[in-house]
């Protein structure tokens, strides 16, 4: 049995149901400030805002996008996915350290925890986009998450819904499980061999079973 000491969670599309709203937001931005990048909202999923802003050379455009996204994140409603709290509670009962590793900035995290104050209690640490130099798919975010828990990435499971995040978790050395809330199981299969539809009925033992089933 794999010895797991920590679990690292992406946020949007993993813990909270928000990806549809973000897809609509970035689709609107692409209409106002076209980049020409195909399927733009999907192409940038899992990427920090600072990295996204590199697509816009004009300072005024970048500031307008920052203002727009902060207004958007202040008014949207955040909803925790079914099963999240019960799974986190089960992890804690097994002595598992937990962290959120997100590309979101600290402003958005503030809005989130105002709406869902009970979510914060489950996590030992949070890595947000302002705390890393390199965005997902670079390994830095998940490597930092493990480090802040006092663990090695090899001792951690990573739950991710975006291809950028999956690549980050794998590159860091974590045991990655895909979450098929954003991409279909068929599309997910080419990026990670193990995936789940969500956390309903998920337990520590089932998680370990998924990891062990992927061993050579």
3-class DSSP state of 88: helix
Evaluate whether 152 touches 5 at the Cβ level (below 8 Å).
no
Quote the pLDDT of residue 94.
97
Could you tell me which residues come within 8 angstroms of residue 201 by beta carbon, excluding any fewer than 6 positions away? 83
Quote the pLDDT of residue 114.
93
Evaluate whether 206 touches 196 at the Cβ level (below 8 Å).
no
Evaluate whether 171 touches 137 at the Cβ level (below 8 Å).
yes
3-class DSSP state of 159: strand
Q: Residue-wise pLDDT tens for the chain (216 aa)?
A: 568 999 999 999 999 998 888 999 999 999 999 999 999 998 998 888 889 999 999 999 999 999 999 999 888 999 999 999 999 999 999 999 999 999 999 989 999 999 999 999 999 999 999 999 999 999 999 999 999 999 999 999 999 999 999 999 999 999 999 999 999 999 999 999 999 999 999 999 999 999 998 876
Token code pair at residue 11: 């946020």
Give the CA count within 13 Å in the CB-facing half-sphere of 174. 35
> Residue 116's CB: how many other CB atoms inside 10 A?
17
Could you tell me which residues come within 8 angstroms of residue 190 by beta carbon, excluding any fewer than 6 positions away? none
Q: Is the pTM value of this prediction over 0.75? A: yes
Q: Which class is 6-17+79-213 in CATH?
A: alpha beta
CATH 3.40.50.1000 in the chain is located at: 6-17+79-213
pLDDT in tens, 115-170: 999 999 999 999 999 999 999 999 999 999 999 999 999 999 999 999 999 999 99
């Amino acid at each position: 049995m794999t010895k797991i000491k920590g679990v690292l969670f992406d946020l949007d599309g993993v813990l909270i149901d928000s990806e549809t709203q973000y897809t609509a937001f970035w689709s609107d931005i692409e209409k106002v400030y076209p980049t020409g990048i195909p399927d733009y909202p999907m192409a940038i999923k899992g990427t920090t805002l600072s990295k996204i802003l590199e697509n816009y050379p004009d300072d005024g455009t970048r500031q307008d996008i920052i203002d727009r996204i902060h207004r958007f994140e202040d008014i949207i409603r955040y909803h925790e996915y079914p099963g999240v709290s019960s799974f986190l509670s089960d992890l804690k009962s097994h002595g598992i350290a937990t962290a959120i590793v997100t590309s979101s900035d600290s402003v958005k995290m503030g809005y989130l925890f105002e709406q869902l104050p009970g979510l914060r209690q489950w996590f030992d640490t949070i890595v947000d986009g302002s705390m890393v130099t390199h965005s997902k798919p670079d390994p830095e975010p998940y490597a930092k998450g493990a480090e802040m828990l006092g663990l090695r990435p090899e001792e951690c499971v990573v739950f991710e819904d975006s291809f950028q995040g999956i690549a980050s978790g794998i590159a860091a050395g974590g045991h990655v499980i895909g979450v098929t809330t954003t991409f279909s199981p068929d599309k997910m299969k080419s990026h990670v061999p193990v995936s789940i539809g969500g956390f309903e009925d998920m337990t520590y033992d089932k998680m370990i079973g998924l990891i062990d089933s992927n061993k050579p």
